[in-house]
Amino acid sequence: MTTAAALASMGHQVTCIDKDRYRIDTLNKCDLPFYEPGLESLVRTGLNTGRLQFYYSLEAAVKQSELIMICVGTPLNVRGEVDLSALFLVIKELRELDLKDKIIVIKSTVPVGTTAKIAEIFAADHREKGPVFIGNNPEFLREGSAVTDFFQPDRIVIGCREKRVEEALKQLYAGFDCPLIVTDPTSAEMIKYAANSFLALRISFANELANLCDLLDIDVKPVLRGMGLDKRIGLNYLQPGIGFGGSCLPKDLTGLIGICRRHNYPAELLTAVQSVNENQPEFLVNKVKREIRKPLEGSKLALLGLAFKPNTDDIRSAPALKLIEYFSVLNLKVWAYDPAVKVLPEEYLEKVVMSENIPAALEGAKAAVIATDWPEFKNLPWNKLKNLMADPLIVDGRNILEPEVMGEYGIKYLGMGRKNGVRFCGH
């Protein structure tokens, strides 16, 4: 969606295709199915100028297009493998159309070698139907800042074997002032997995360091700053907390581990990154268990934040959901509030009460847990809000508040590695 609307705003004629007619109809009314800052106005402009269209006929759209981008989801299946069924369904449908001289670009994150496999399929059709050109162009947009990420890319990766694909993609992205990496499709696929897995590695490193700082009674914040200001290291993606979630980092890390395993490579480092992440919510739960006034059972707990990160209403693989599962086992009464997430899937209905506002969540709670770093949680009048709570205890799973300030307000504050003297009590 973001790529399409942004490309349309650059003057390209873009037609978005989806099988879901309801979605297409609502998009044509500029009714977006998710929240993404800046996207709605981009889509509206695209619709008004006629440069952006939403349609359900693949055939009609393909006929009038020079370049076809495949952006379908590639989720993990129950076995933890990348599910390419949506991708291959599109390929099947495309093969039934007249594709002579068209360029097909895979934008979905796909396991290394997939683009080459698709190129082979089309090459086999070639003799009868004429040439089709295949490329890979991974995207690096983050949810919540996808529009700005699109217009300010750190790099653009073009994976192709033919000059024609390279030229078409260079033309598509003409005007961007960033390095352009032109490589083969397999390397382009690997770049995407490598980038997301490395970001995951940095976060797990920061989390491991925070857990150690808890044991040593050291504040992790100056440690990470002191470390990250080294230009060779950098400060980004070193924010400790309750782990990374979302639809990409966990999925792509698991995907890369799967690729390693298929090649009998043990993936020791990547597996450790994953297990640190999986264990991280439990560190927060242990803090709650230890610090909350007993009895634990039946106590009200406020959960602030459900989205996997701020500025989105996406809860896919959100660490907050793992917390809800743990709290439910402990029979805590969870009252959750999130500025963007207003409904949870059915399986959570009995485990959590959705609060309309922050005071409703805090009223009578024995602890408040911060699970998403929404900026508005940082700037709350905590000195007043604490009076609503049964006990003024904040467990900050995203380290957005300052222990000293909370101390001055008379609030017991526990962060992740924030020198709060809470010892690790095992899993």
- Residue 53 or 313: the one with the smaller Cβ distance to ligand UDX is 313
Distance CA 155, CA 164 (A): 20
Smallest distance from ligand UDX to CB 285, Å:
17
Smallest distance from ligand UDX to CB 242, Å:
8
Q: Is 259 in the site for ligand UDX (CB under 6 A)?
A: no
Which span sits near ligand UDX by CB under 6 A: 231-239, 293-301, 389-397, 409-417? Answer: 231-239
Q: Is 193 in the site for ligand UDX (CB under 6 A)?
A: no
Q: Is 181 in the site for ligand UDX (CB under 6 A)?
A: no
Burial 347-384 (b: 16+ CB within 10 A, else e): ebeebbebbeebeebbbebbbbbbbbbbeebeebebee
Q: Is 308 in the site for ligand UDX (CB under 6 A)?
A: yes
Q: Is 239 in the site for ligand UDX (CB under 6 A)?
A: yes
Handedness of CA 176, 182, 186, 187 (dihedral sign): negative
Q: Which positions from 121 through 140 interact with ligand UDX, judged by CB under 6 A?
A: 139-140
Which span sits near ligand UDX by CB under 6 A: 3-11, 58-66, 141-149, 150-158? Answer: 141-149
Smallest distance from ligand UDX to CB 326, Å:
17
Distance CA 209, CA 190 (A): 28
Distance CA 136, CA 106 (A): 5
Q: Is 199 in the site for ligand UDX (CB under 6 A)?
A: yes
- Residue 245 or 255: the one with the smaller Cβ distance to ligand UDX is 245
Active site residue 248: yes
Which span sits near ligand UDX by CB under 6 A: 17-25, 110-118, 174-182, 232-240? Answer: 232-240
Distance CA 209, CA 400 (A): 17
Tokens at residue 320, please? 């907050």
Q: Is 111 in the site for ligand UDX (CB under 6 A)?
A: no
Interface pick for ligand UDX out of 72, 137, 143, 420 (rule CB under 6 A) = 143
Contacts with ligand UDX by CB under 6 A: the residue count is: 19
Q: Is 246 in the site for ligand UDX (CB under 6 A)?
A: yes
Annotated catalytic residue within 71, 248, 260, 425: 248
Q: Is 309 in the site for ligand UDX (CB under 6 A)?
A: yes
Interface pick for ligand UDX out of 87, 201, 238, 394 (rule CB under 6 A) = 238
- Residue 107 or 161: the one with the smaller Cβ distance to ligand UDX is 107
Q: Is 245 in the site for ligand UDX (CB under 6 A)?
A: yes
Site string for ligand UDX, 287-306 (x = CB under 6 A): --------------------
Q: Is 151 in the site for ligand UDX (CB under 6 A)?
A: no
Q: Is 118 in the site for ligand UDX (CB under 6 A)?
A: no
- Residue 154 or 350: the one with the smaller Cβ distance to ligand UDX is 154
Pick from 151, 157, 209: nearest CA to 177:
151
| Cβ-Cβ contacts under 8 Å for 110 (sequence gap 6 or more) | 74, 82, 84, 87, 136, 189
- Residue 54 or 308: the one with the smaller Cβ distance to ligand UDX is 308
Q: Is 241 in the site for ligand UDX (CB under 6 A)?
A: yes
Strand ranges across the sheet with 412-414: 352-354, 333-337, 300-304, 367-370, 393-396, 412-414
Distance CA 29, CA 394 (A): 43
Interface pick for ligand UDX out of 82, 169, 203, 389 (rule CB under 6 A) = 203
With contact defined as beta carbons under 8 Å apart, do 93 and 123 qualify? no
Smallest distance from ligand UDX to CB 281, Å:
11
Which span sits near ligand UDX by CB under 6 A: 32-40, 240-248, 290-298, 329-337? Answer: 240-248
Pick from 329, 309, 311: nearest CA to 320:
309
Which residues participate in catalysis according to the annotation? 248
- The footprint of ligand UDX (CB under 6 A) covers 139-143, 196, 199, 203, 237-239, 241, 244-246, 248-249, 308-309
